[in-house]
Amino acid sequence: MKAPRLTDTTLRDGSHPMRHQFTREQVASIVQALDRAGVPVIEVSHGDGLAGSSLQYGFSHTSEFDLIETARSHAERAKIAALMLPGIGTRQELKEAVARGIQVVRIATQCTEADVSEQHFGLAKELGLETVGFLMMAHMRPPEALAEQAKLMESYGADCVYIVDSAGAMLPSDAAARVRALKEALSVQVGFHAHNNLGLGIGNTLAALEAGADQIDGCLRGLGAGAGNAATELLAAVLDRLGLNPGLDVFGLMDAAEYIVAPIMPFQPFPDRDAITIGYAGVYSTFLLHAKRAGAQYGVDPREILVELGRRQAVAGQEDWIIDVALDLSRRHTAGTRKESRL
């Protein structure tokens, strides 16, 4: 293993549990603390990326462009990054983000849809940005299929391609196999982004590092979607114990998590029943509320709905399946009850 580059995404993935309500003052204090502690890249944007502030994804308290500008003005050493999802963010938002100060863009697609990112990588390179590809929900496809998708991103201009465990569904062997496949297939760097739904955020990140990952992600206090991400301060401590500290101030990050982030958190993300179900089923966390509503309407355990959605490999944008699945399960239960009554 070698010392990785760490990107802290408290101010992007952490936007989900914060309901996209970060303020300029909060961004300034978090960026200053991360920058002083030696974190080299800090991601700042709406939780769903540039232009995510909307009725569908949740409105931001403060314009993400204002938050990016604030972050850049308070970072002395760290680079400022933003997330962009093709279909949500456009050329206009990317250009504005560059004008406000981003130096890195992370372009995220469903793990089977890398081909939709070609224009976005092309524009990012024209704008002089460092480019990172994100293959989301990467647990859903085998390593060799992900390698083919990653090669597309590399051909479009990605400087690094990430395996992204969006649902927190991977086991350490899953993370290692996928990172290893990309390392063997690509000439650019490979990264790993963990979620903690099965309590494996740190373990999976270490497995990815053992498989050769060059870049990893974390959030202070684990503040991220679902059960949260690998905690930045924990990653720093573990890397230091392994002799792989890339220049992070372990105590400084502990203090930032405890005294700056913890007081503003609406709750502490952790693997509760709902979060575990998301990881166990391997589905997007956004399905959870819909599954609960459908379960209540049709008398079905929401966990059964989510597990069936995972079996069908449902992805974002297929929320209409939730009602279909709930109806199917309800009919099965009814048919089973009738059969038992006849016996």
Q: What is the CATH number of the domain that holds 300?
A: 1.10.8.60
Are residue 156 and residue 301 in the same domain, yes or no?
no
pLDDT at res. 287:
85
pLDDT at res. 341:
55
279 inside domain: no
Are residue 88 and residue 39 in the same domain, yes or no?
yes
pLDDT tens-digit readout, 90-103: 999 999 999 999 99
Domain-ending residue, one of 264, 297, 332: 264
Residue 120 bears catalytic tag: no
Are residue 239 and residue 297 in the same domain, yes or no?
no
Are residue 55 and residue 201 in the same domain, yes or no?
yes
pLDDT at res. 336:
65
Are residue 304 and residue 247 in the same domain, yes or no?
no
| Residues of each annotated binding site for substrate | 12-13, 166, 193, 284
The yes-or-no verdict on residue 325 having pLDDT over 80 is: yes
Percent of the chain scoring above 90 in pLDDT? 87
Alpha carbon distance 15, 176 (integer Å): 28
Provide φ and ψ at 214, rounded to 5°: -95, -30
197 inside domain: yes
275 inside domain: no
296 inside domain: yes
In which domain, by residue range, is 309 found? 286-342
Q: Which of 164-168, 235-239, 262-266, 334-338 has the lowest mean pLDDT?
A: 334-338
Length of the chain: 343
pLDDT tens-digit readout, 174-227: 999 999 999 999 999 999 999 999 999 999 999 999 999 999 999 999 999 989
The yes-or-no verdict on residue 342 having pLDDT over 60 is: no
Domain-ending residue, one of 230, 264, 298: 264
Q: How many domains does the chain have?
A: 2
**DSSP secondary structure string for all residues of 322-335:** HHHHHHHHHHHHHH
The yes-or-no verdict on residue 56 having pLDDT over 80 is: no
Alpha carbon distance 251, 35 (integer Å): 13
Q: Which residue in this structure is represented by tokens 């009725």? A: 55
Helix, coil or strand: residue 136: strand
281 inside domain: no
CATH number, domain at 35? 3.20.20.70
Are residue 199 and residue 337 in the same domain, yes or no?
no
Q: Which of 16, 20, 139, 290 is catalytic?
A: 16
Helix, coil or strand: residue 100: helix
User: Left, alpha or beta for 58 (phi > 0: left; psi -120 to 50: alpha)?
Assistant: left
Are residue 319 and residue 175 in the same domain, yes or no?
no
Alpha carbon distance 217, 318 (integer Å): 28
Average pLDDT over residues 276-281: 95
308 inside domain: yes
Are residue 137 and residue 224 in the same domain, yes or no?
yes
Are residue 235 and residue 303 in the same domain, yes or no?
no
| Residues of each annotated binding site | 12-13, 166, 193, 195, 284
Domain-ending residue, one of 202, 229, 264: 264
- Do residues 248 and 240 make contact, with C-beta atoms less than 8 angstroms apart? yes
Average pLDDT over residues 126-130: 97
79 inside domain: yes
The yes-or-no verdict on residue 343 having pLDDT over 90 is: no
Are residue 202 and residue 335 in the same domain, yes or no?
no
Angle between helices 91-100 and 64-74 (to 10 degrees): 30
The yes-or-no verdict on residue 337 having pLDDT over 70 is: no
Higher pLDDT, 336 or 295: 295
Are residue 220 and residue 317 in the same domain, yes or no?
no
335 inside domain: yes
Are residue 252 and residue 336 in the same domain, yes or no?
no
| Residues of each annotated binding site for Mn(2+) | 13, 193, 195
Alpha carbon distance 98, 100 (integer Å): 5
Average pLDDT over the chain reads 94
